[in-house]
Amino acid sequence: MSEFEIIRDIFAPLTATAPGAFNLVDDAALLEQQNLVVTKDLLVAGVHFLAKDPLDLVARKLIRANLSDLAAKGAKPLGYFLGCVWPKHTDRASIEQFARGLAEDQERYRIGLYGGDTTVHSTKTGPLTLSATFLGTPPKQGMIPRSGASLGDDLYVSGTIGDAGLGLAALRKEFKFTTVDKASLSSRYHLPEPRLTLGTALAGLATAAIDVSDGLIADAGHIARACGLRAEIDAVAIPRSAGAASWVAAQENRWRALATLASFGDDYEILFAAPPAMRRSITVASKASRTEVARIGTLSRGEGVLFLDEAGRPIPVEKPGFNHFT
Amino acid sequence: MSEFEIIRDIFAPLTATAPGAFNLVDDAALLEQQNLVVTKDLLVAGVHFLAKDPLDLVARKLIRANLSDLAAKGAKPLGYFLGCVWPKHTDRASIEQFARGLAEDQERYRIGLYGGDTTVHSTKTGPLTLSATFLGTPPKQGMIPRSGASLGDDLYVSGTIGDAGLGLAALRKEFKFTTVDKASLSSRYHLPEPRLTLGTALAGLATAAIDVSDGLIADAGHIARACGLRAEIDAVAIPRSAGAASWVAAQENRWRALATLASFGDDYEILFAAPPAMRRSITVASKASRTEVARIGTLSRGEGVLFLDEAGRPIPVEKPGFNHFT
């Protein structure tokens, strides 16, 4: 099995909808004149996914994690560049399984592969490492920034929070769940749903947005910092799935449990801010995009994040989000 | 040390010349309307560089390997997106050393950092893995393709061939060299020189081009395949540095030695084709760009690569280039 064969047989067919990719027979792709929103995310075995995860699901998670970044900017996805570092002695069937996952989600999200690079680790212990650079076109109202919110803007989040973290805990058997809950939570971990339709609908409405990948509280902190404000989040307002709700109910300390949900990563929901005058428009955008949106707090004077109980008292948060460097 | 601090203190200053990077406080960069040539290369410790290599040199090699791809397309570099997966327990000083290398070559090549992602391996054995997506603007005559050469076109290569491979062998003490030769050969391994000025000068002249990274013979094979022709290379015409020439002179079998030079990777020279009618123009482009160019062969009917001795007999080539998958 040669690199040439892998690229020609497995990856080149993924460029059918990307004319500037030259069927992967050139060193570079050509993108015609247009505004581009560009984002880059890494996925590493043992860090962002489990080494045993099925490779087609890993491929789809790679695509979806990146599309989630585009969704939070209100951008429409166009295509991507892919870098793969395979573990030593990876067989062709594994790469084909990975490419099947790419093909499935390329069709689902109507995107094309534009180019990339593929190589192999020199030792047996090097983990599968994936790098993707995604391109999208900004909405005509302009890309939703992370930094545009004003004092008094509401904070919203889409979907439900904490499911992927609970799903990972379920897969690792750290918590017990019913079979139904385990299946739905672990599928949130394996296959996030990028909120592209909502993102498009929020263009021109949201003043700031981020996708929730580090954890709700950590990502609220990113927005707060970028806007020079403080994020105040009502813990009880955090949207929970049925599985997450029953997990919270089974915990001794409800507030600590909610803080845990809001500290897990990998939600791939959109956290965004909008002025109170926009509340009706946000409801319309939510309905039009068939995506649940919950109002969870506000941006106030100050800095950092306050995670508040029903009486408005701050709940201590031990570890607001994942930090790769500590 | 947090990811936030690393990005704010070490990487954000590298975006000063990239307005669409938003100082790395957003999830995505915005690129204004223009044609773009895009290329992506991975560098992995133990595969593309030695784990002990100084990190500022590794950073500069990452930049130059990618710029070399742009050079072969005749493109003018604009900037890049960077993904880093650090070994566990990397200290801040190492990341700063790496960033110093980026800063130095960013200034040299007038490019900016547009965005990226940074993370850490979950085990001690995960090697430093770097991924870069580079953007450039195509020449007004259009990007030089890999596939545009015609029957009878001449084949040329810039600079000298095999130095980086000999430099690596010198660093690994596989061959003995004089101190002077070892220094110059190993610097070719650590710090390739992307042929950007030559690339620009070749736009409109070269009918096909590729940067020599897999090895001269292997990359000639890539051009031959893309053009549907056979590449014939005169072994004696391969340009050699003083260090490479004395190494060849010391080998028992001269032809085998030349085949070895032409099978090493990491040259980062431009291999290109042009019609015989362009010979004077190629000489002018070489002089104008102050880059040596050697005519080394021709494109004939057939497929694959013939590596020919003085009498026009094919020299057997055991391993024409590096293949990561075997």
A113-141: buried (b, 16+ CB within 10 Å) or exposed (e) per residue?
Answer: bbbbbbbbbbeeebbbbbbbbbbbebbee
Judged by CB atoms closer than 8 Å, whether chains meet at B325 and A2 is answered as yes
pLDDT at B323: 58
Query: What is the distance between the alpha carbons of residues B224 and A70, in angstroms, rounded to a whole number?
Result: 39
**A residues 117-136 closer than 8 Å to B (CB):** 117-123, 125-127, 129, 131, 133, 136
Quickly state the pLDDT bin for A40 (edges 50, 70, 90): very high
Query: What is the distance between the alpha carbons of residues B221 and B210, in angstroms, rounded to a whole number?
Result: 10
pLDDT at A10: 86
Residue of higher predicted confidence among A237 and B49? A237
Query: What is the distance between the alpha carbons of residues B316 and B309, in angstroms, rounded to a whole number?
Result: 10
Query: What is the distance between the alpha carbons of residues B260 and A46, in angstroms, rounded to a whole number?
Result: 39
State percent of chain A over pLDDT 90.
77
A291-317: buried (b, 16+ CB within 10 Å) or exposed (e) per residue?
Answer: bebbbbbbbeeeeebbbbeeeeeebeb
pLDDT at A43: 93
Cβ-nearest to A26 among B3, B40, B146: B146
Residue of higher predicted confidence among B33 and A61? A61
Residue A48: list chain B partners with CB under 8 A: 119
Question: What is the block-wise mean pLDDT of chain B (326 residues), using blocks of 10 residues?
Answer: 80 84 81 87 91 94 95 95 93 93 95 91 91 94 93 98 94 88 92 96 97 95 95 97 95 95 94 98 98 98 96 87 58
Tell me the two tokens of residue B249.
Answer: 């002179």
In DSSP terms, which residues pair with A172 in a beta bridge? none
Helix locations, chain A, DSSP H: 3-5, 55-72, 92-109, 163-171, 179-190, 196-202, 216-227, 242-250, 254-261, 279-288
Quickly state the pLDDT bin for A254 (edges 50, 70, 90): very high
Closest residue in A to B51 (Cα) is A122
**Chain position carrying tokens 């095999």:** B162
Cβ-nearest to A69 among B28, B70, B325: B28
3-state secondary structure of A220: helix
DSSP B245-312: HHHHHHSS-HHHHHHHHTT-----PEEEEE-GGGHHHHHHHHHHTT--EEEEEEEESSSSEEEE-TTS
Judged by CB atoms closer than 8 Å, whether chains meet at A324 and B39 is answered as no
In whole angstroms, how large is the CA radius of gyration of chain B? 20
Helix locations, chain B, DSSP H: 3-5, 55-72, 92-109, 163-171, 179-190, 196-202, 216-227, 242-250, 254-261, 279-288
Judged by CB atoms closer than 8 Å, whether chains meet at A120 and B325 is answered as yes
In DSSP terms, which residues pair with B80 in a beta bridge? B113, B134
pLDDT tens readout for residues A161-201: 999 999 999 988 888 889 999 999 999 998 999 999 999 99
Query: What is the distance between the alpha carbons of residues A109 and A62, in angstroms, rounded to a whole number?
Result: 13
**Chain position carrying tokens 């307002």:** A237
Closest residue in A to B123 (Cα) is A46
Residue A87 has pLDDT above 60, yes or no: yes
Cβ-nearest to B81 among A2, A38, A47: A38
Domains of chain B in sequence order: 3-137 (3.30.1330.10), 154-308 (3.90.650.10)
Judged by CB atoms closer than 8 Å, whether chains meet at B38 and A114 is answered as yes
DSSP class of residue A152 equals T
pLDDT at A21: 82
Angle of helix B242-250 versus helix B254-261 axis, rounded to 10: 140
Best of B76, B325, B326 to disrupt the A interface (most A CBs within 10 Å) is: B325
Residue A114: list chain B partners with CB under 8 A: 38
Whether the Cβ atoms of residue B147 and residue B208 lie closer than 8 Å to each other: yes
Residue A206 has pLDDT above 70, yes or no: yes
pLDDT at B325: 57
Tell me the two tokens of residue A169.
Answer: 């805990």
Any CB–CB contact under 8 A between A70 and chain B?
yes
The mean pLDDT of A236-260, rounded to a whole number, is: 95
Quickly state the pLDDT bin for A322 (edges 50, 70, 90): low
Residue A60 has pLDDT above 90, yes or no: yes
Average pLDDT, chain A: 92
Residue of higher predicted confidence among A23 and A78? A78
ipTM entry: 0.88
Quickly state the pLDDT bin for A323 (edges 50, 70, 90): low
Residue A144 has pLDDT above 80, yes or no: yes
**A residues 34-63 closer than 8 Å to B (CB):** 34-42, 44, 46-48
